[in-house]
Every structure is written in structure tokens, then in C-alpha cells.
Amino acid sequence: MSFGGPQWPQQGPGQQQPYGQQPQPQPWQGGPQGGPQGGQGQPNPFPGAQPGHTPDWGALADASAARDKRRRGLLIGGGVLAVLAVGAAVATAVVLTDKSNDEAKNGGPSPTGSAAPTDSASPAPTFSSVAPLPPPNPMDFISDAKKDKAPLSAEGLFPGKKLTMNGRPYQKGATSSTTDCAAVTQGGLGPVLKANGCTRVIRATYVKDGVAVTVGVAVFPTDEKALKAKQQATGGIAPLAGSGVADFCHATVCLRRTNAIGRYVYLTQTGFTNGTKVTKGDKAVFQTADDLGTFAFNQIYARGRAQASAAAGAPGE
């Protein structure tokens, strides 16, 4: 349907002239002379008016008003239908959105024919008011002999035939384990270990590019005893030769270091296999001592971490 500009009413065969007027010739119909109406060969601009007469202005105004009223009714009716259609679309969107949210909240649609879930079907979660215990601290296990129960051996602390630290490979030589702590020391270290309750010393030797190092781990009952032994330490751990490593650090100058972690004191003695004296400029010797000291520290701490992990998996024990 078109809603263009105003159109004048037209007559068809057998139709009554609206507005109570008699049928009149239309502008496109010829008059009695067969020419256009309105005179001077021009169409009559006022349909319904007799040629040569004044148009019925009232009738024309009524016709225009009737057409405007009819057009407004059509526009309003179309607008109402459009609003209803939009309203229906919005209502559908709201229903669909709500349904989608419900499904997400309830974990998806229920199977066909099943009843809607009730509160008893999905009870609210409950939480304990007791705070969980903190995880065990590895240091607790390597600081007291009463907790440090894992097996202890030379192969456990120094496994394999070689080790690599930061890309530097070291070949392992001889190893030993003894409960006579003073027997594997030099200088005044033996009496210090014995006085503080040393129960065992485990040693291993490594070599790389003509530099050898013996690392020893002295074991004490508690971390307090170990710390006291470290502070009082003098002399050093005796070098351990064998298994391809010649005797070293005898009648010459070598690098000695002492440190502690938990109830363990770890010591290193590092020098050249050819008997050359160690000086402050011998970076390879200092690097070797650092690497093996770090390795001993890591191995002892790993022992505590393994026991703490086992205890966390079996809290009742």
C-alpha cells in the first residue's frame, strides 16, 4: 500500500458519486464537443465542478479531510502492529535469555520427562571450620636425629659415577663412611667433631682437569651441635685418594672450606693432583670447591624435602 500525496476520488462504472453530488465528467473525459473540459483546451483543475461554474469548496475540503483521517488510521494501525511485533520479539528474547541462564545455573537442560531438580538433589557445599595444617618444613627433618630417619650412606649422598654442576662434569673417585669422625680429619678438626657429638663422617672425592676435591659430611644429633662445630672448626677434612685419583693435598697448600645445614656440617678440601700449591688466583680450584659444596648442600636439603613430602602424604603417622 502506498502512502503518497493526496489523490482525488475517482468513479468507476456503476459507482455512486460521493458527497451527495451528481456524476460529473472527469478531466480526462471529453465534453459534448469531444474536447477537454474547463475551456481553452486545458483540463479542469477542479473535478466535480461544472464547466464554467465555481468549484464546491466545502465538498472538496470534506473530501480532503476524510482522506487524511483514513490515512492517519492506517498509519496508526500499522504503528500498533509494529509495536506489538517488537514487543513480542523483546518478550521472546527475554524468555530465551532467562532460559539460557537457568540452564547454565542448573548445569544444563534436564532429560526429557524428568522432574526439575530440587534443593535436596544438589546440596550446598560445606566447609570445615578447622584451618589446614601447614606443609612440613624440610629443615625440621634434617635438624633433629629424632625426625631424620631416612637411610644415610655414601651412595645416597653421592650417587652415580660422576656429576655435572652448571655444565661442568666431575668424575667421582673413592667414597667412604665411618663412625670414627676424628680418624678422617686433619689439624684440630677431629677433637671439635668429637666434642660436639659427631656420629658419622661420609666422604667422596671428585676430579676434573687436574683439580681434585674431597667433600665430607659430618653428622650430629641436632642442628645446634652442628652449628657449634662449624664455628669451632679448625684444620680440615682429610683428602680421600683412590679409584683413579692419586694422593693430593699432602705437604702442600690446599683450599679448605666448612659450612653447615641442619644437623650436618659439610667440608671440602681442594687442590691440584700434581701437588702444586693453591693461590688466590687459581680460579679452577675455587670453582671446584664451590661446585662440590653446593652439591653437598643440595643433597642434604633434598633429604629433608623427601622426608617432608612423605610425611605430608601420611599425616597420621
| Number of residues assigned to the chain | 317
Contact 8, 47 (CB under 8 A): yes
Grid cell at residue 274: 700434581
* Domains of the chain by residue range: 31-95, 138-311
Instruction: Please state the φ and ψ torsions of residue 106, each to the nearest 5 degrees.
Output: -95, 5
Contact 171, 161 (CB under 8 A): yes
C-alpha angle 75/81/85, rounded to 5°?
Answer: 140
| DSSP E strands, 80-136 | none
Least confident of 19-33, 50-64, 191-205: 19-33
* pLDDT of 217 higher than 60: yes
Interatomic CA distance for residues 21 and 125, integer angstroms: 87
* pLDDT of 130 higher than 80: no
| CA distances (Å), origin 275, targets 185, 250, 278 | 19, 8, 9
Contact 269, 254 (CB under 8 A): yes
Contact 62, 18 (CB under 8 A): no
Residues with Cβ < 8 Å from 74, sequence gap 6 or more?
1, 3
Contact 240, 171 (CB under 8 A): no
Interatomic CA distance for residues 182 and 189, integer angstroms: 7
Contact 223, 143 (CB under 8 A): yes
Strand 236-237 relative to strand 264-272: parallel, antiparallel, unpaired? unpaired
| Average pLDDT estimate for 228-240 | 97
Contact 263, 145 (CB under 8 A): yes
Better-scored residue on pLDDT, 162 or 32? 162
Interatomic CA distance for residues 194 and 125, integer angstroms: 59
Residue 312 — pLDDT band, cuts 50, 70, 90?
A: confident
Give the pLDDT confidence score for residue 34 in this predicted structure.
Answer: 42
User: What does the pLDDT look like over 45-75, one tens digit per residue?
Assistant: 445 445 445 556 666 666 666 776 666 665 5
Interatomic CA distance for residues 214 and 249, integer angstroms: 10
- DSSP letter for 144, please: B
Contact 295, 268 (CB under 8 A): no
